[in-house]
Amino acid sequence: MSDAAQTPQTRCGFVAVIGAPNAGKSTFVNALVGSKVSIVSPKVQTTRMPVRGVAMRGQAQIIFVDTPGIFQPRRRLDRAMVKSAWAGAGDADAVLLIVDAADLVAKPKGAAARDTDAIVESLKKAEHGKLPKISLVLNKIDELPRAELLPLVQSFSETGVFDQVFMISALKSDGIDEVADWSAAHLPISAWLYPEDQAADIPSRLLASEITREKLYFRLHDELPYATTVETEAWTAKKDGSVKIDQIIYVERAGQKGIVLGKGGQTVKAIGESARREMETIFGHRVHLFLFVKVREGWAENREHYRDIGLEYPEE
Ligand code: GDP
Ligand code: MG
């Protein structure tokens, strides 16, 4: 008997979690990953997509990643993201589209409905076999009577573009195991990319950057390109158990600095407030967050950088 036959087969891969702001993406991933956070780095660098979290499912290691910009492909970098995501050029092995089902039922012609329809349409047109499998995850079902939900599930199933339609409440951890099992089943046979004992973690600094970037994007995505990045510069543990976190928000042009700062610094203050609250919840201790805004020119128009983050440079 060979070694391979004796060791249990492991799987590992990337599952893109997409959906409009507020759909429940973070809640869903956090529910599967747990809140344990510590410093860790992957064994190999294989993706430049932001990692949301890493979950273990039996012998499978699921790396949840972001493919942001999928909803508003207006700007150059965003278009590259969309192209990349839908062309399967990204590293994702499977895709989860998270939708706020309560919102969908309450506002059938609202933003959630439009986004979902747009994705269904683009999937219908997509070249068969080129895309990773995608499942629709109807979230927040705790806010909906079942009678309202079932017609929704049926209409989405009938589009034929989704591998599965799941109904979950990320908040109550209802139905999430089925989604994790589906995700695990679509991963390739592979060694784990994250060390086993740290599989539930991603680096605190990275996570802190990610939290701020998300708040920034949530608030300003109409005005700022996705190229805006956040880096955690310093992480200082204080004697009283709190942590001082210094972060730099990098924008591409001087004009964007003003957008991030807002009138009298109000925008960056509000972003910092909500980021700090989320960090305190996740890290489990008090956080003093200091945000600085700096201009890093030429970032989004630089070909090298596109290659660095695994995207094609959009020529049009
Ligand atoms: P994201 O922007 O997609 O990452 O969404 P979040 O995970 O930050 O969730 C947005 C809001 O929806 C938060 O207030 C969550 O508590 C809430 N939420 C997420 N999942 C559920 C759910 O299953 N049920 C209900 N009622 N609220 C949820
Ligand atoms: Mg989120």
Name the residue at shortest CA distance from atom 24 of ligand 1.
140
- Tell me, in angstroms, the distance from the centre of ligand 1 to residue 31's CA: 11
For the Cβ of 99 lying below 6 angstroms from any atom of ligand 1, the answer is: no
For the Cβ of 142 lying below 6 angstroms from any atom of ligand 1, the answer is: yes
For the Cβ of 213 lying below 6 angstroms from any atom of ligand 1, the answer is: no
For the Cβ of 23 lying below 6 angstroms from any atom of ligand 1, the answer is: yes
Q: What is the DSSP letter of 62?
A: E
245 sits in which H/E element? strand 243-251
CA distance linking residue 313 with residue 305, whole number of Å: 9
Core vs surface per residue 3-16: b (16+ CB within 10 A) or e: eeeeeeeebbbbbb
Whole-number pLDDT of residue 118:
73
Whole-number pLDDT of residue 260:
92
139 sits in which H/E element? strand 133-139
Q: Which atom of ligand 1 is nearest the CA belonging to 174?
A: 23
Name the residue at shortest CA distance from atom 11 of ligand 1.
22
Dihedral in degrees, nearest 10, Cα atoms 101, 106, 110, 114: 40
- Tell me, in angstroms, the distance from the centre of ligand 2 to residue 5's CA: 40
Name the residue at shortest CA distance from atom 16 of ligand 1.
171
**Residue 101 in contact with residue 144, Cβ under 8 Å?**
yes
For the Cβ of 261 lying below 6 angstroms from any atom of ligand 1, the answer is: no
Length of the chain: 316
For the Cβ of 139 lying below 6 angstroms from any atom of ligand 1, the answer is: yes
Name the residue at shortest CA distance from atom 10 of ligand 1.
22
For the Cβ of 19 lying below 6 angstroms from any atom of ligand 1, the answer is: yes
For the Cβ of 47 lying below 6 angstroms from any atom of ligand 1, the answer is: no
pTM over 0.85: no
Name the residue at shortest CA distance from atom 26 of ligand 1.
140
Whole-number pLDDT of residue 198:
47
With left for phi above 0 and alpha for psi between -120 and 50, is residue 84 left, alpha or beta?
alpha
Residues of the chain with pLDDT under 50: 1-5, 35-48, 69, 71-82, 84-85, 87-90, 198-201, 304-316
Whole-number pLDDT of residue 220:
85
Sign, CA torsion 34/38/42/47:
positive
- Contacts of 228 by beta carbon, 8 Å cutoff, 6+ apart: 213, 216, 217, 220, 249, 250, 251, 252, 256, 260
- Tell me, in angstroms, the distance from the centre of ligand 1 to residue 287's CA: 22
For the Cβ of 149 lying below 6 angstroms from any atom of ligand 1, the answer is: no
DSSP string, 274-293: HHHHHHHHHHSS-EEEEEEE
CA distance linking residue 158 with residue 160, whole number of Å: 5
Whole-number pLDDT of residue 227:
62
Whole-number pLDDT of residue 129:
59
For the Cβ of 30 lying below 6 angstroms from any atom of ligand 1, the answer is: no
| Pair of tokens at residue 62 | 């699921």
CA distance linking residue 160 with residue 139, whole number of Å: 20
Q: Which atom of ligand 1 is nearest the CA belonging to 172?
A: 23
- Tell me, in angstroms, the distance from the centre of ligand 2 to residue 21's CA: 7
CA distance linking residue 78 with residue 87, whole number of Å: 14
- Contacts of 206 by beta carbon, 8 Å cutoff, 6+ apart: 51, 232
Residues forming a β-bridge with 248: 231, 292
Q: CB neighbours (10 Å) of residue 150?
A: 11
For the Cβ of 22 lying below 6 angstroms from any atom of ligand 1, the answer is: yes
For the Cβ of 25 lying below 6 angstroms from any atom of ligand 1, the answer is: yes
Whole-number pLDDT of residue 186:
94
What is the rounded end-to-end Cα distance, in angstroms, of the chain?
A: 55
- Tell me, in angstroms, the distance from the centre of ligand 1 to residue 169's CA: 9
Whole-number pLDDT of residue 306:
46
DSSP string, 99-133: EEHHHHHH-TTSHHHHHHHHHHHHHHHSPTTSSPE
Q: For the purposes of burial, counting CB atoms within 10 Å of the CB of 316, is it exposed (0-12), middle (13-18) or buried (19 or more)?
A: exposed
Residue whose C-alpha is closest to residue 164's, from 150, 182, 146: 182
